Amino acid sequence: MLTDATMLAIATTVARGFEFAGIAAIVVGSLMALFRVSAAYAGWGRAVSAEAREAIFPAFRKTLGRSILVGLELLVAADIIRTVAVEPTLLSVLVLGLIVMIRTFLSMSLQVEIEGRWPWQRRET
């Protein structure tokens, strides 16, 4: 049987793991986006079409935005674990609600920026 202290230690460790994963997703995705745009710029010495040049920055923004979205989702999961399992007070739940609302707004804004449509709108086929 697990004691309360053991459960608290496990929940804290899991929350920290999610926080680390969220930060890593943002950093790795940002580095990938920078690498791709740098590689595309390096290719400009060769004959590159105007369409390819114009597609570089939207692709950079899409990759960066997706990495931030994944990171935000993982950070929200860490906040939920920490609030529910580690510090279940009314104040921490209210703070969690505010954090989730802010991150949800950021996620929706990023998705509109990446996809060019609201999450509930259908894709044009």
pLDDT for residue 33: 92
Say whether 54 sits in a helix, a strand or coil: helix
Please answer whether residues 70 and 3 qualify as being in contact, where contact means their C-beta atoms are separated by less than 8 angstroms. no
Tokens of 21: 């994963």
8-state DSSP, 43: G
Please check the confidence at residue 96 and state whether its pLDDT lies above 70: yes
pTM score, two decimals?
Answer: 0.77
Question: What's the pLDDT tens digit per position in 32-54?
Answer: 999 988 887 776 656 566 677 77
**Between residues 55 and 27, which one has the greater pLDDT?**
27
Question: What's the pLDDT tens digit per position in 49-87?
Answer: 667 777 788 888 888 988 998 998 899 899 888 888 776
- Number of C-alpha atoms within 13 angstroms, CB side, residue 117? 6
Cα–Cα distance, 52 to 72 (Å, whole number):
30
Domain ranges (residues) in the chain: 4-115
- Quickly list DSSP for 70-124: HHHHHHHHHHHHIIIII---HHHHHHHHHHHHHHHHHHHHHHHHHHSS-TTSPPP
Report CA-CA distances (Å) from 89 to 10, 75, 82, 94: 19, 19, 11, 9
